[in-house]
Structure 1
Amino acid sequence: MSETVLQQIDQVVKGNDIVLFMKGTPDFPQCGFSQRVAGILSSYNIPYAAVNILLDENVRQGIKEYSDWPTIPQLYIKGEFIGGCDIVTEMQENGELAELLAPLKKEA
């Protein structure tokens, strides 16, 4: 994977409080897992950046290398990799996600 792609991904991750790498967009998700995570994030009414990995094969492969995580979607909060659909769903159900997002809601 090219260093340039990984650097671009790093800039997006570190340049946004919340970033979701997903298939499609929040308004038009292209897979059920991406739709689920986008829906969870939207329920908090906090703006977030979304990257459609289907638009660029280099980003699609690069994000997997960047995180060392094989699946999409991938959620990052404050530059930290949170996880994919199962982890985000579990964190929402047990209240951890609300805790993580609370300080960002105050800033928004």
Structure 2
Amino acid sequence: MDAIRSKIDAIDRQMAALYEQRMALVMTIAEYKYNNNENIFDSEREAAVVEKNLKFLTDSEFENCYIEFLHFIMDQSKRVQSQWIETQKKNNESHGAE
């Protein structure tokens, strides 16, 4: 049991690093969307992300859970983008008032 848990811990460390990398890129996307007045939510893009990434699963038993995981990550990405954009708007308002 300890050996298996140790492997899970190692995967969790990798996932944390990948999560941070993904969210850093999400903030870059937020900046682009802000500067180009684009919407945060793009249903076509989200559907394409799910479809594209399902191809990487080798065990279809996990398909439904993986779809939920992808939607969870995309929901968090939208929240990070919203927060970044709101911060930019507030900063611009405060600088415009000076």
Report if TM-score (shorter chain) is over 0.5: no
Higher helix proportion, which one?
2
Q: Which structure dedicates a bigger proportion of its chain to strand?
A: 1
TM-score of the superposition, structure 2-length normalised? 0.29
Q: Which has the larger radius of gyration?
A: 2
